[in-house]
């Protein structure tokens, strides 16, 4: 007697309309069975009828704590996808999340990070991608059925009865509108076809331009975008919730075109025959795809098969993690092009972390140390964050860094034309942690490197930061043509005014100018420069990355920093990729790496970092960061992770304790300093 094959026990989180379609897919799947529904209103009429055989649980948490649920299908409105996917992963549940996976690629990245840590499955529910008709279309494109693909035209739009402010599709706080609700379909298809034409699973556009009509509630009611791909393919995509569109997929090539009507529903929700029309100059050919299985059953089984095989993401042509992230990056650019930021994304509404919890203080993963002149201990790693352009995207990384124990934030007047300071100010106020933070401000960047600029720019910086002082201040560059005493006087005035309440100094200043500035301050009773922010790394910068930059990695510099016990907030502390697979003696495609870091002495250091990393079970970049942390002077590396994975990876360096002998061996390779442990 053979046993029944194992089935995935599904729970549905959020029993709305799309959840009923999914339940039908589970019922007609090979791998799944529906066992429970998590509902915020478990007494709502129709639940038992719409989800026959499933236990109705009181609330979403009850579903996540149910031991008889293996996997959760999330069908709540878009803004809560990230929160509940992260919580589900933390509870050990596999997740299939309705599209879009998150409001932004940043949210999706946080969801993926949680699944990766938990070892659970996470997939985005684009049901059409798992249907055999999709694979057939890709085969036709790859086989050259219409020659070389030049253009893709695709739409998914419908017309609601009218403006309905109470409906989720028009609700700003529920991230309504067409781009997030249905725009992801044509975008994902365009990326799929562009990839197929290049022999890849999918392709990413190098240019995105968008336009839209924003209605009464501020959401996009109809919208279009142009995507240009590196292989020359152009895609025209459109969507809408207030405008019915033809919803035809059209792929145009040099020898004809392919048309598919209502592609998103393939052969039908409950099975049927789909038609792919190939139109050439000699006539029309119809390729039929007969499929009796229910449309939503394909994604149920694809997820189930992945889970049973111990996989964490969909197999192609399902949307794996990189595919989902790429799709959302296009939607992010489309929204940015039309100026659509939902109210729910703004600081006033984003009072919790991405997991829906209040920010936690007291983290100890990143240890703290005393820095002379600072009123509070400073974390041993400082965070730089120039890549974020919205509060909702930047807060994810800021929250995670702070909860790990980080409290030093590196900003500058020039970064992001001021937006980095604005974002940090919003976050500090929103989270109520200004008094726990160490804020670095920088100003007077070339060409505006004059004493009178310091106070003027600091005024603007403090306004952006929503505070009355910075804790550390650096001139961003130096101007040797200006007497150093004028710069010291300007910064000292800000100290006396209470607008700098800790050490000040220079970023990219030479030892000679620092010595001169310190001597002047000591003679005149002014506050003397007490910190630097120069490049410092295991790899020595051979030539400046940018004009006016200064490295402190030479032997003379290290001796000076140690003798002075001068704190250095080190930028490019990991050699800007020199200690990763991007560099190598035979790899010369990256101009900056070759120009700035390539020397036999640096490669020797890299070799030793690789050797030590292999012995420790770490990566060379972890060793490189540990080297900067272990210096015999106060050394605070600036890190610039863009994702939670990158942040967590950097923190692995904190596990490495290097002795003075280790430091000497990594630097010079001297045998008597060889690390043996």
Task: List the CATH number of the domain containing 501.
Answer: 3.20.20.100
Q: According to the model, what pLDDT value does residue 16 have?
A: 87
Residue-by-residue DSSP string for 188-199: HHHHHHHHHHTT
384 lies in the same domain as 523: yes
206 lies in the same domain as 146: yes
Q: Which of 184, 179, 170 is nearest to 218 (CA)?
A: 170
Whole-Å CA distances, 379 to 70, 364, 531, 654? 40, 9, 15, 12
Q: Where are the alpha helices (DSSP H) in 131-178?
A: 132-142, 178
* 303 inside domain: no
* 450 inside domain: yes
549 lies in the same domain as 427: yes
Q: How many domains does the chain have?
A: 3
pLDDT tens, position by position, 329-338: 999 999 999 9
147 lies in the same domain as 196: yes
Q: Which two tokens stand for residue 478?
A: 């130096």
* 661 inside domain: yes
| Cβ–Cβ < 8 Å for 74, 81 | yes
Q: According to the model, what pLDDT value does residue 386 have?
A: 85
CA distance 222 to 561: 60
Q: What is the CATH number of the domain that holds 71?
A: 3.40.50.720
Look up the pTM and report it.
0.95
The conformation of residue 500, written as its DSSP 8-state character, comes to B
pLDDT surpassing 80 at residue 675: no
Helix 644-651 vs helix 105-118: crossing angle, to nearest 10: 50
CA distance 356 to 559: 48
338 lies in the same domain as 472: no
pLDDT surpassing 70 at residue 677: no
Helix (H, G, I), strand (E, B) or coil at 167: coil
Cβ neighbours around 595 below 10 Å, total: 12
* 677 inside domain: no
CA distance 544 to 656: 29
Q: Which domain holds residue 441?
A: 355-668
Task: Return the residue matching tokens 């038992």.
Answer: 48
CA distance 393 to 364: 24
| % residues pLDDT > 70 (the chain) | 98
* 2 inside domain: no
CA distance 261 to 190: 15
Mean pLDDT value across residues 649-668: 96
pLDDT tens, position by position, 534-569: 999 999 999 999 988 999 999 999 999 999 999 999
CA distance 468 to 346: 23
CA angle 114, 324, 218 (to 5 degrees): 100
pLDDT tens, position by position, 308-336: 999 999 999 999 999 999 999 999 999 99
The conformation of residue 35, written as its DSSP 8-state character, comes to E
Residues near 275 by beta carbon (within 8 Å), at least 6 away in sequence: 260, 261, 286, 287, 288, 289
pLDDT tens, position by position, 351-385: 999 999 999 999 999 999 999 999 899 999 999 98
Q: Which of 126, 156, 174 is the last residue of a domain?
A: 126
Q: According to the model, what pLDDT value does residue 673 have?
A: 47
* 468 inside domain: yes
| % residues pLDDT > 90 (the chain) | 94
> Mind telling me the catalytic residues?
99
CA distance 642 to 656: 23
446 lies in the same domain as 594: yes
pLDDT tens, position by position, 62-87: 999 999 999 999 999 999 999 999 99
568 lies in the same domain as 557: yes
- What are residue 335's DSSP bridge partners? none
Task: Mean pLDDT check: name the lowest of 67-71, 270-274, 457-461, 635-639.
Answer: 270-274
Q: Which of 105, 126, 147 is the last residue of a domain?
A: 126
pLDDT tens, position by position, 400-424: 999 999 999 999 999 999 999 999 9
* 675 inside domain: no
Q: What strands, in cross-sheet order, belong to the sheet with 234-240?
A: 207-214, 220-228, 234-240, 149-157, 248-253, 256-261, 272-280, 283-291
Cβ neighbours around 271 below 10 Å, total: 15
CA distance 133 to 103: 28
| Alpha carbon of residue 470 to chain centroid | 27
414 lies in the same domain as 322: no
CA distance 81 to 100: 8
CA distance 579 to 605: 9
Q: Which of 396, 399, 479, 491 is nearest to 441 (CA)?
A: 491
100 lies in the same domain as 187: no
CA distance 108 to 42: 29
Q: Which of 66, 97, 126 is the last residue of a domain?
A: 126
415 lies in the same domain as 533: yes
565 lies in the same domain as 598: yes
| Cβ–Cβ < 8 Å for 248, 260 | yes
Q: Which two tokens stand for residue 120?
A: 């659970």
Q: What is the CATH number of the domain that holds 201?
A: 3.30.360.10
46 lies in the same domain as 154: no
Mean pLDDT, the chain, as a whole number? Answer: 96
* 301 inside domain: no
Number of C-alpha atoms within 13 angstroms, CB side, residue 646? Answer: 16
């Amino acid at each position: 007697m053979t046993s029944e094959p194992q089935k995935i026990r599904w729970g549905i989180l959020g029993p709305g309309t799309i959840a009923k379609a999914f339940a039908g897919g589970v019922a007609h799947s090979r791998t799944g069975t529906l066992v429970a529904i998590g509902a915020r209103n478990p007494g709502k009429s129709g639940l038992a009828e719409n989800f026959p055989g499933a236990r109705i649980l009181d609330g979403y948490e009850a579903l996540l704590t149910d031991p008889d649920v293996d996997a959760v299908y999330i069908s709540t409105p878009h803004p809560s996808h990230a929160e509940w996917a992260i919580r589900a992963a933390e509870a050990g549940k596999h997740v299939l999340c309705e599209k879009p996976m998150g409001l932004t690629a940043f949210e999706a990245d946080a969801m993926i990070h949680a699944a990766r840590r938990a070892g659970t499955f996470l997939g985005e529910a684009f049901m059409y991608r798992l249907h055999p008709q999709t694979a057939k279309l890709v085969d036709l494109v790859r086989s050259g059925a219409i020659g070389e693909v030049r253009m893709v035209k695709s739409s998914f739009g419908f017309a609601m009865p009218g403006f309905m402010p109470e409906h989720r599709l028009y609700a700003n706080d529920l991230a309504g509108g067409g781009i997030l609700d249905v725009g992801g379909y044509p975008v994902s298809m365009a990326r799929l076809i562009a990839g197929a034409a290049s022999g890849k699973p999918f392709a990413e556009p190098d240019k995105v331009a968008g336009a839209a009509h924003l209605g009464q509630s501020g959401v996009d009611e109809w919208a279009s975008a142009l995507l240009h791909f590196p292989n020359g393919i152009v895609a025209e995509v459109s969507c809408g919730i207030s405008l019915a569109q033809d919803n035809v997929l059209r792929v145009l090539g040099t020898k004809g075109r392919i048309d598919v009507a209502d592609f998103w529903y393939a052969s039908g929700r409950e099975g049927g025959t789909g038609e792919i029309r190939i139109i050439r100059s000699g006539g029309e050919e119809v390729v039929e795809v007969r499929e009796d299985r229910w449309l939503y059953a394909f994604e149920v089984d694809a997820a189930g098969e992945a889970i049973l095989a111990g996989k964490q993401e969909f197999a192609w042509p399902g949307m794996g993690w990189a595919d989902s992230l790429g799709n959302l990056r296009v939607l992010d650019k489309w929204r940015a092009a039309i100026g659509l930021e939902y109210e729910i994304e703004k600081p006033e509404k984003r009072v919790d972390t991405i997991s829906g919890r209040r920010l936690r203080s007291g983290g100890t993963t990143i240890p703290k140390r005393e820095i002379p002149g600072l009123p509070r201990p400073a974390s041993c790693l400082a965070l730089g964050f120039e890549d974020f352009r919205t509060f909702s995207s930047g807060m994810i990384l800021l929250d995670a860094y702070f909860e790990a124990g980080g409290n030093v934030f590196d900003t500058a007047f020039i970064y992001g034309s001021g937006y980095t300071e604005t974002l940090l100010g919003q976050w500090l106020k929103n989270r109520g942690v200004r008094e726990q933070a160490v804020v670095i401000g920088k100003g007077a960047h070339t060409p505006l490197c004059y004493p009178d600029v310091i106070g003027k720019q600091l005024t603007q910086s403090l306004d952006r930061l929503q505070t009355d002082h910075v804790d550390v201040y650096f001139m961003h560059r130096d101007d040797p043509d200006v007497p150093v005493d004028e710069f010291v006087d300007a910064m000292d005035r800000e100290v006396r005014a209470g607008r700098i309440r800790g050490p000040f100094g220079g970023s990219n200043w030479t030892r000679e100018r620092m010595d001169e500035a310190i001597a002047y301050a000591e003679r005149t009773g002014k506050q003397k420069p007490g910190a630097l922010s120069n490049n410092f790394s295991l790899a020595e910068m051979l030539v400046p990355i940018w004009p006016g930059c200064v490295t402190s990695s030479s032997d003379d510099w290290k001796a000076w920093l140690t003798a002075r016990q001068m704190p250095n907030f080190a930028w490019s502390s990991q050699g800007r990729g020199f200690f990763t697979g991007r560099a190598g003696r035979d790899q010369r495609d990256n101009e900056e790496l070759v120009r700035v870091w390539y020397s036999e002495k640096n490669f020797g250091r890299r070799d030793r970092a690789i050797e030590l990393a292999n012995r420790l079970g770490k990566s060379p970049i972890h060793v490189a960061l540990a080297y900067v942390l272990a210096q015999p002077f106060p050394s605070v590396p600036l890190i610039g992770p863009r994702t939670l994975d990158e942040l967590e990876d950097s923190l692995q360096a904190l596990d490495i304790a290097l002795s003075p002998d280790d430091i000497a061996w990594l630097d010079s390779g001297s045998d008597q300093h060889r690390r043996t442990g």
